Amino acid sequence: MTKPVIEIQNISKRYRIGAGKEPYLSLRDEIAKWLSPAAMRARRAQTELWALKDVNFDVSEGEAVGVIGRNGAGKSTLLKILSKITPPTEGRIVMRGRVASLLEVGTGFHPELTGRENIYLNGAILGMSCKEIARKFDDIAAFAEVERFLDTPVKRYSSGMYVRLAFAVAAHLEPEILVVDEVLAVGDMEFQKKCLGKMGEVARSGRTVLFVSHNMAAISQLCSKGAIIDHGRLDYFGSAQDAVKRYMAAISQRNGSIDLIGPTSNADETSDENTGVRFRRVFLTNASGDVCDTFFIGDEACLCFDVEFTKRVKAAQIGFIIRSVTSGNIYHCVTRDAGFHPTDLFGKITFKATFPRLALYPGQYVLTDLSIDTPTETLEFIQNALYFQVAEGGPQVYRRLSSHAAVVHEVPNWRLERDGFHVEGSSGLQETSGVADPERSDVRVGI
Amino acid sequence: MSDLEYVIAPPGRLISIDWRELKRYRDLFFVLARRDIAVRYKQTILGIFWAVLQPFVTMVVFTFIFHVIGNVPTQFDAPYPVFLYVGLLFWRYYSETLTGSANSMISNAGLIQKIYFPRLIVPATAATTGLVDFGIGTVILTGMMIYYGYCPSLIGLLIFPLLLACAVICALGMGLFAASLNVKYRDVRHALPFFISTLMFVTPVVYSAQALDKHPIVKVVMLWLNPISGVISSARTALLSHQSVDWRILGVSTLMSALFFVFGLYYFRSAERYFADIV
């Protein structure tokens, strides 16, 4: 068979913002639109959005293709079109083989139904026949490790059991083409490894896999080919390794520097009087010293401030705030906290503040409230100096991080103690609080 | 590799129904229908008994209000409860199926957005689950007929499935149309309960179609536009009397039900392609 298994030809998908993205329309809006067709046409042109535009590529039998791109680039739209969930606006796709698409783990699971019933339900939803499910039933239950709870409603399952069961059903599909969207986003790392292993098995068994993920490591491990989608267009299609490299390079290439001289500056400078101290340039560099404005979690990031001192300053303190665009101030860093006391400052000086491991969730951040102070006065103060972003994915991320879930991505040291609960300071607590009545101590805590 | 080859392309103007595909997905249909039936009375004390209790209470209350207080006459000298119950049996099936299928696309939005299958399966499932209640209702009706000493004619028994088929396609046809509208305009959610409760009184459920003889225009309009009214009056004639069924009424009902069904089906098919985007 020389024909490709999937031929994607000039696929485009248009959404109408307003018609497509609003939760629903009311009849009144629609009538209003009918009444003024001219206004409608004008509006339509404005609110069109091409989620995908002229995407072309072929996938041969047995290939595993990783699809990468930023959020909103059109990856999921592509998978939805491939899965026949939504039709393309233009172009065509030829598929040769039985397709199973897994855009979500546990689609259609019903909480009231038992594990057994849900295996049948989910299996049928994924396209298996009842006979097929019956044949694989024991394997599925064993893989999910839920044999004992088959007759318990899944609403009583722990979330781990639930996900295991859902994945087990999906893992026993035997399609010729498997389309998978970020299913690794759920579950713990152990489980993710299991998923990845299963997907590797599928890919190696000669079946065709199309896989969307933010996990670059998984893409380069599992996939032979990689496709980068950017703003609805196919940016690159080639070997997975190259695709990952290109994507990582593209994401960190954009200029993350701002010159604070002249009218091009968009920072809000507030110190007018000439104190003899000026910020000249503010920029961010990555581990290899290149200027960039996009980082992954755990990357090394270095904040650099070029400052020109036209007047000799005996001692000064530098400070800045990192603010999340959505969640407010995150860090307020000053030199003194680090035991760092710059002295005898004159001429062109670059201050560098390095975060060896950037612990911020994906999102937009702004470097603000840059200040140079002496014990008596503020020599320089700039707000909103530089925007930068933390991108999804990266080498140290094992799950999908929603930008709204948290702001600081801290990784504590985990350990586990098995020899019973250690009761610590329970008597000490009573002594110090001096209150035996737990209700009253609660009140004290509340105040 | 299987020989399965298909093309995904922008939808054309021509709307067709892929029967082969529907057949391939029949297992999903059964599984979903089983799910809806199984889930229905989960975590209830009375369980399936609800399917008996609800129509029974309705029958008692309506008999009191309409027959005892309101002096609404019965037909064929049948006791009013039996007369009413025949109407309620079909009416309940019709209203449940219509509501169920109209809301089915919304309540299964999670499925529709994440997986492909012929969308028709979802509203069709709603038409099937109503059949369970209908079956239970039929058992009660049989009990009542025995209690009151009624024996339906052979013809009556024979056309009973035809009447049910009429009710199914009529309710499903309207349900498909309402489901398509509901995906786009949630106004349906508010309009439908009102529409159904009003329609109940524009259908000979609590009164007989005979009572409309004095208003021939109303009667003709009701017969043509509301196929379920013809179904109910035919069912009463067939089950409760030994008169022959008025084939004109039955013919019109069947024809109109079929028309509703075809219209609903095609409207649904033309709208379904964008369900995943806007639901």
Q: What is the DSSP string of B119-177?
A: TTHHHHHHHHHHHHHHHHHHHHHHHHHHHTT----HHHHHHHHHHHHHHHHHHHHHHHH
Report yes or no on whether pTM surpasses 0.90: no
| CATH at residue A242 | 3.40.50.300
| Secondary structure in 3-state letters for chain A | CCCCCEEEEEEEEEEECCCCCCCCECHHHHHHHHHCHHHHHHHHHHCEEEEEEEEEEEECCCCEEEEECCCCCCHHHHHHHHCCCCCCCEEEEEEECCEEEECCCCCCCCCCCEHHHHHHHHHHHCCCCHHHHHHHHHHHHHHHCCHHHCCCEHHHCCHHHHHHHHHHHHHCCCCCEEEEECHHHCCCHHHHHHHHHHHHHHHHCCCEEEEECCCHHHHHHHCCEEEEEECCEEEEEEEHHHHHHHHHHHHHHCCCEEECCCCCCCCEECCCCCCCEEEEEEEEECCCCCECCEEECCCCEEEEEEEEEEEEEEECEEEEEEEECCCEEEEEEEHHHHCCCCEEEEEEEEEEEEECCCCECCEEEEEEEEEEECCCCEEEEEECCEEEEEECCCCCCCCCCCCCCCCECCCCCCCCCCCCCCCCCHHHHHHHHCCCCHHHHHHHHHC
Residue A271 falls within a domain, yes or no?
yes
Q: Give me the residue from A61, A81, A124 closest to B28, CB to CB.
A: A124
Give A-chain residues touching B43 at CB under 8 angstroms.
112
Give B-chain residues touching A98 at CB under 8 angstroms.
2, 4
Does the ipTM exceed 0.85?
A: no
pLDDT at A333: 92
Residue B247 C-alpha, separation from nearest chain A C-alpha, in angstroms? 40
Query: A87 vs B42: CB contact, 8 Å cut-off?
Result: no
Residue A263 C-alpha, separation from nearest chain B C-alpha, in angstroms? 45
Average pLDDT over residues B140-160: 85
Note whether A99 and A179 are within 8 A (CB).
yes
Residue B156 falls within a domain, yes or no?
yes
Tell whether the model's pLDDT for residue B168 goes beyond 60: yes
Residue A273 and residue A151 share a domain: no
Q: Give me the residue from A15, A26, A121 closest to B277, CB to CB.
A: A15
Mutate to test the interface with A, among B13, B29, B35, B192 (most CBs of A within 10 A): B35
Percent of chain B with pLDDT over 70: 98
Residue B33 falls within a domain, yes or no?
yes
Residue A312 and residue A182 share a domain: no
Residue A287 and residue A211 share a domain: no
Residue B158 falls within a domain, yes or no?
yes
Tell whether the model's pLDDT for residue B52 goes beyond 90: no
pLDDT at A264: 32
Task: Decide which of B176 and A192 is more confident.
Answer: B176
Residue A159 and residue A274 share a domain: no
Average pLDDT over residues B169-188: 90
Tell whether the model's pLDDT for residue B77 goes beyond 70: yes
Domain span at B164: 19-278
Residue A414 falls within a domain, yes or no?
no
**What's the gap between Cα B56 and its chain centre?**
19
pLDDT at A158: 83
Residue A205 and residue A100 share a domain: yes
Could you tell me which residues of chain B have a Cβ less than 8 Å from any Cβ in chain A? 1-2, 4-11, 27-28, 30-32, 34-35, 38-39, 42-43, 110-117, 184-187, 273-274, 276-278
Query: A88 vs B8: CB contact, 8 Å cut-off?
Result: yes
Residue A164 and residue A39 share a domain: yes
Q: Give me the residue from B115, B186, B278 closest to A20, CB to CB.
A: B278
Residue A447 falls within a domain, yes or no?
no
Mean pLDDT of chain B: 86
Q: Give me the residue from A26, A89, A91 closest to B187, CB to CB.
A: A26
pLDDT at A432: 41
Residue A400 C-alpha, separation from nearest chain B C-alpha, in angstroms? 18
pLDDT at A287: 86
Residue A16 and residue A149 share a domain: yes
Query: B116 vs A84: CB contact, 8 Å cut-off?
Result: yes
Query: A130 vs B42: CB contact, 8 Å cut-off?
Result: no
pLDDT at A29: 63
Question: Taking CA atoms, what residue in B is nearest to A132?
Answer: B27
Query: B43 vs A107: CB contact, 8 Å cut-off?
Result: no
Task: Decide which of B230 and A445 is more confident.
Answer: B230
pLDDT at A439: 41
Give B-chain residues touching A110 at CB under 8 angstroms.
35, 39
- How many domains, chain A? 2
Average pLDDT over residues B142-171: 87
Residue A60 falls within a domain, yes or no?
yes
Residue A330 and residue A202 share a domain: no
Domain span at A246: 6-251
Q: Give me the residue from B2, B32, B276 closest to A80, CB to CB.
A: B276
Residue A400 falls within a domain, yes or no?
no
Question: Taking CA atoms, what residue in B is nearest to A26?
Answer: B185
Tell whether the model's pLDDT for residue B95 goes beyond 90: yes
- How many domains, chain B? 1
Question: Taking CA atoms, what residue in A is nearest to B5?
Answer: A96
Residue A274 falls within a domain, yes or no?
yes
Residue A152 and residue A61 share a domain: yes
Per-residue pLDDT 10s for chain A (447 aa) are: 568 888 888 888 888 765 444 444 566 666 665 666 555 555 555 567 788 889 888 988 888 898 988 767 888 888 888 888 888 888 889 988 888 888 877 777 888 888 888 898 888 888 888 888 899 999 888 888 888 888 888 888 887 788 888 888 887 888 888 888 876 555 555 666 677 777 778 777 878 888 887 667 678 778 888 999 888 888 889 888 888 878 777 765 444 555 554 333 334 444 445 678 888 888 888 888 888 888 888 889 999 988 989 888 888 999 999 987 667 788 999 998 888 888 888 999 999 999 998 888 887 788 888 899 888 888 888 877 777 888 877 777 777 776 667 888 888 888 888 887 766 655 444 444 444 444 433 333 333
Give A-chain residues touching B113 at CB under 8 angstroms.
85
Residue A271 and residue A236 share a domain: no
Note whether A98 and A203 are within 8 A (CB).
no
Residue A291 and residue A187 share a domain: no
Query: B8 vs A101: CB contact, 8 Å cut-off?
Result: no
Residue A269 and residue A188 share a domain: no
Residue B84 falls within a domain, yes or no?
yes
